[in-house]
Amino acid sequence: MQKMKVLFAMFLPLLVSVSSQAVVQKPNTGNFLRCLRDQSNPKNPITKAIFTPQNSTFTSSYVSYTKNKRYSNPNDTNLIAIVEAKHESHVQTTVVCAKSNAIQIRIRSGGHDYEGQGATDVLHKWQLVSSKLPRELFLRAMPQITKGANKTIAVNFIAQFLGSSKKLMGIINKNLPELGLKGEDCYEMSWLNTTTFWADYPVGTSTSVLLKRPSTPPGAFFKSKSDYVKKPIPKEGMEKMWKTMLKFNNHVFMQWNPYGGVMDKIAANATAFPHRKGNLFKIQYFALWIDANATKANLALMKELYGVAETYVSSNPREAFLNYRDIDVGSNPSGVTNVAEACIKAHVINI
Ligand SMILES: *[C@@H]1O[C@H](CO)[C@@H](O)[C@H](O)[C@H]1NC(C)=O
Ligand SMILES: *[C@@H]1O[C@H](CO)[C@@H](O)[C@H](O)[C@H]1NC(C)=O
Ligand SMILES: *[C@@H]1O[C@H](CO)[C@@H](O)[C@H](O)[C@H]1NC(C)=O
Ligand SMILES: *[C@@H]1O[C@H](CO)[C@@H](O)[C@H](O)[C@H]1NC(C)=O
Ligand SMILES: *[C@@H]1O[C@H](CO)[C@@H](O)[C@H](O)[C@H]1NC(C)=O
Ligand SMILES: *[C@@H]1O[C@H](CO)[C@@H](O)[C@H](O)[C@H]1NC(C)=O
């Protein structure tokens, strides 16, 4: 259990990658690049923002924002250019030129990343209290497989609290004493320093690491999916999920992120982000593997886990979190951009 002084929010500069797709109209790459240059406002020239395979820095630009080894080689994609938008006009120009040349746009963004019965009991109680804790406290639960003689599910709890550890101890002891939180489980630090903690660096790591982009291709493959939970998942439901997780032969975990707080005071239709009032928490499912041969098995198991969870999560539509990119939902299998088709699949996006 960690304790810190302020909440984190991490968004990286807007990147737009542009890829051709087997669409009805054949994309015209040359016209597209000419259009970008012609449409660009001379005050904020776009040239320096465009990377094509002819630029020596194309691959490094690509891998620096590609965390997933499944997509680490730009040759395996239909990528024709990357626009590292430096000004909002670059985004507008890219959209206009892509549309007129039958080219699809993918928006890239950065940012985002334990035993048995006893832990399940605590987790079940966590579902009841986590969204009703004081607004200053964010308490995430992470069910995951533990390595050892026998595979088991353990639950890790991580929190950020805006206040002193003494005050936090009081809140936890009142609402979730089963956690057995102790003073030495907590770290006090500035809000800024919490950013490196959430990025999985050891406590005390300087925030300057956040400026570094990876210079080598990613070393692991992963698949992530998400769900929203509006009613507590019953114990038998959790057990079914653990049994499915135990079928994986590599790292797999879930992040249960409580909503509640201010989120619960805003109606779903009040802003562009609809996952507000009425959500207890969001689940992120995450599987990570190193062996390229394991990709098929992992994707199949993720599908199975998502299927097992269906009974217990939001429905009609089944909601998902846009920033955890999941090509299985909101996609256009026909290859033609069609919002209606994509929305049928699951995403609820207010535009
Ligand atoms: C990529 O190459 C083109 C053509 O030489 C150049 O105009 C452009 O500035 C280069 N892009 C970057 C990001 O350096
Ligand atoms: C992509 O293909 C080009 C041309 O075939 C090749 O020169 C380049 O090395 C390939 N890039 C990677 C990362 O495999
Ligand atoms: C692992 O499981 C076996 C069979 O159920 C059991 O006999 C053994 O004690 C377990 N080992 C540990 C370390 O829990
Ligand atoms: C923040 O982290 C740096 C180390 O990167 C440390 O020197 C500094 O004391 C920390 N500040 C606070 C207020 O936690
Ligand atoms: C939002 O939904 C509520 C009912 O759920 C409705 O009364 C309200 O008019 C809606 N607001 C907008 C802006 O659509
Ligand atoms: C992956 O599969 C290929 C072809 O079946 C095999 O040659 C290779 O050794 C396998 N790699 C690993 C790490 O198991």
Residues 5 and 127 in one domain: yes
Read out DSSP for 101-164? TT-EEEEE-------HHHHHHHHHHHHHHGGGS-TTEEEEEEEEEEPSSS-EEEEEEEEEESS-
**Polymer length in residues for the chain:** 351
Domain boundary among 212, 230, 264: 212
- Quickly tell me which residue has 């050891």 as its tokens: 202
Residues 250 and 272 in one domain: yes
Out of 69-83, 143-157, 238-252, the most confident range is 238-252
Q: Do residue 54 and residue 147 come from a single domain?
A: no
Is 193 in the same domain as 268?
no
Q: What is the pLDDT of residues 294-316, one digit of tens each?
A: 999 999 999 999 999 999 999 99
> Closest ligand 3 atom, CA of 148?
13
Each residue's pLDDT tens digit, 18-76? 444 333 345 678 888 899 989 888 888 888 888 888 888 888 777 766 666 666 677 76
Report residue 110's pLDDT band, with 50, 70 and 90 as the boundaries.
very low
CB 72 within 8 A of CB 217: yes
Q: Please report, for the domain that includes residue 244, its CATH number.
A: 3.40.462.20
Q: Are residues 173 and 264 in the same domain?
A: no
Positive or negative, the CA dihedral 46, 52, 57, 59 is: positive
Ligand 4 pocket, CB under 6 A: 189-190, 193, 204, 206
Distance CA 317, CA 62 (A): 34
Q: How confident is the model at residue 185 (pLDDT cuts 50, 70, 90)?
A: confident
Ligand 5 midpoint to CA 9 (Å): 28
Same domain, 7 and 143: yes
pLDDT digit string (tens) for 278-297?
A: 999 999 999 999 999 999 99
Whole-angstrom distance, CA of residue 281 vs CA of residue 91: 33
pLDDT classification of 200: cutoffs 50, 70, 90: confident
186 and 224 fall within a common domain: no
CA distances from 105 to 17, 95, 277 (A): 6, 7, 31
Atom of ligand 4 nearest to the CA of 205: 5
Total domains present in the chain? 3
pTM over 0.75: no
Higher local confidence (pLDDT), 327 or 187: 187
Same domain flag for 132 and 268 = no
Q: Is 98 exposed, middle or buried (0-12, 13-18, 19+ CB in 10 A)?
A: buried
Q: How far is the CA of 27 from the centre of ligand 5 (A)?
A: 41
If asked whether residues 9 and 34 sit together in one domain, one would say: no
Categorize the per-residue pLDDT at 192 as very low, low, confident or very high, splitting at 50, 70 and 90.
very high
Among 115, 146, 147, 150, name the best residue to mutate to test ligand 3's pocket (greatest count of ligand atoms within 8 A of Cβ).
150
- Is 7 in the same domain as 151? yes
**In which domain, by residue range, is 138 found?**
1-17+117-212
Indicate which ligand has the atom closest to the C-alpha of 290: 6
User: How far apart (Å, rounded) are the C-alpha atoms in residues 164 and 47?
Assistant: 49
